[in-house]
Amino acid sequence: MRKFAESFPDRGIVQQAAAQIPWFHNCVILDKIQDAEQREWYIQATIEHGWSRAVLVHQIESDLYSRQGVALTNFQTTLPSPQSDLAQQLVKDPYNFEFLGLGRETSERELETALIDRLKDFLIELGKGFAFVGQQYHLGVGGEDYYLDLLFYHLHLRCYMVIDLKVVPFKPEFAGKMNFYLSAVDDQLRHPDDQPSIGLILCKERNRLVVEYALRDAKKPMGVATYRVLPHKLKGELPTARQIEKGIGKT
């Protein structure tokens, strides 16, 4: 109680924010976060999303505060305000897929299937407002078949979101492919009352300058982010496939 009083000397903050979440949520925030701005951010996020204590702990330990809204996008030039700002705050970098238990080397299909198998955890990581539409969602264009890795609809942005999964570093041609997908979704699925569809390319790695060049003149709203599948502590400890191969046969 003393720590709570010392941490929140402003009565307005206490009455308007901290008092709206359960006491043990406040205890978690006080114990795990030292920065006042971050504390208030997690309190507001808990109120907005209705996080349980377990979800709150997970979001703090995964450093959501630093990841939220920092993906590279072209939303400012392709979406009207305030839709562009809302969309930007929606995307993270990196996305935390540690709950999948996957190693460094995995295929796109394995990653996709694992995310669907753990759909509840995936939706929590994506954030509030996402509704799952389909996996390998079929679109027919010009007599040819195309399949979207993952298709969602965002209830607050009122738009479709196409997610393209890549287990390799970002390449410029990924943006062109996403632009094509978004055009097809807008033409075939978008309701007249819907906002423009948004694309999110999730890659193993990305070079900031390459992404910025690829998105600069793209006409459709899209973002590029990375993901992690291993806890930070293990990333530097596990050997790579090349290191394992070199070690074969040694005594």
Range of the domain at 168: 66-235
Quote the number of domains for the chain.
Answer: 2
Task: Give the containing element (helix H, strand E) for 129.
Answer: none
pLDDT at 167: 94
CA contacts within 13 A on the Cβ side of 80: 3
pLDDT in tens, the chain (251 residues): 666 566 655 655 555 566 677 877 888 888 888 888 888 888 888 888 788 888 888 888 888 888 989 999 999 999 998 999 999 999 999 999 999 988 777 899 999 999 999 999 999 999 989 999 999 999 999 999 999 999 999 999 999 999 999 999 999 999 999 999 999 999 999 999 999 999 999 999 999 999 999 999 999 999 999 999 876 454 444 444 444 345 544 43
Does any domain span residue 143? yes
What letter does residue 92 receive in the DSSP assignment?
Answer: B
CATH classification of the domain holding 148: 3.40.1350.10
Within this chain, do residues 48 and 117 fall inside the same structural domain, yes or no?
no
Within this chain, do residues 70 and 36 fall inside the same structural domain, yes or no?
no
Confidence (pTM): 0.79
Does any domain span residue 86? yes
Question: Which residues partner with 226 through β-bridges?
Answer: 203
What letter does residue 135 receive in the DSSP assignment?
Answer: E
Q: How far apart are CA 235 and CA 107, in angstroms?
A: 18
Secondary structure (3-state) at 148 = strand
Within this chain, do residues 164 and 223 fall inside the same structural domain, yes or no?
yes
Q: How far apart are CA 30 and CA 136, in angstroms?
A: 43
Does any domain span residue 172? yes
Q: How far apart are CA 248 and CA 169, in angstroms?
A: 28
Within this chain, do residues 159 and 118 fall inside the same structural domain, yes or no?
yes
Within this chain, do residues 204 and 94 fall inside the same structural domain, yes or no?
yes
Does any domain span residue 247? no
Question: Which residues partner with 131 through β-bridges?
Answer: 153
Within this chain, do residues 39 and 128 fall inside the same structural domain, yes or no?
no
Does any domain span residue 141? yes
